[in-house]
């Protein structure tokens, strides 16, 4: 899912390993889009390519307005923010104890 967002030119992509910190999910994928249109395009690409791989979301919230789209895939929750909205909520600060997974592998694929 992070790779899909990366391919759609998501900005400030971050993967957080939440194992042992919460029962909500094992991973958060957090990224930004330059506009609500970009956010929606990233979210639709994640949904489409995941479904083609046989992975269906448990729920998707926020797609209509696309300031913050939350995509729940069970073990993975994808947060796609419009840049200003991400700055306002600062979700990463709530999970400062989470280990960040390096993104270098995505750039090299």
Mean pLDDT value across the chain: 93
HSE-CB at 103 with a 13 A cutoff on CA atoms is 18
Please check the confidence at residue 54 and state whether its pLDDT lies above 80: yes
pLDDT digits (tens, 9 = 90+) for 19-37: 999 999 999 999 999 999 9
Which residue ranges form the domains of the chain, and what is each CATH number?
2-102 (3.30.460.10)
Say how far apart CA 23 and CA 56 lie, in whole Å: 20
- Residue 109: is its pLDDT beyond 60? no
Per-residue pLDDT, 59: 97
pTM of the predicted protein model: 0.92
Residue 106's pLDDT band (cuts 50, 70, 90): low
Residue 4 clears pLDDT 70, i.e. is over it? yes
Note whether 78 and 63 are within 8 A (CB): no
Residue 33 near residue 15 (C-beta atoms within 8 A): no
């Amino acid at each position: 899912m992070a790779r899909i967002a990366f391919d759609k030119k998501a900005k400030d992509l971050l993967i957080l390993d939440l194992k042992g910190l919460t029962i909500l999910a094992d991973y958060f994928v957090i990224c930004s889009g330059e506009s609500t249109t970009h956010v929606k395009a990233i979210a639709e690409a994640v949904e489409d390519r995941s479904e083609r791989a046989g992975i269906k979301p448990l729920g998707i919230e926020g797609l209509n307005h696309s300031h913050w789209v939350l995509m729940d895939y069970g073990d993975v929750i994808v947060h796609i923010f419009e840049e200003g909205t991400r700055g306002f909520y600062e979700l990463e600060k709530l999970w400062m104890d989470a280990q960040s997974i390096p993104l270098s592998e995505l750039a090299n694929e």
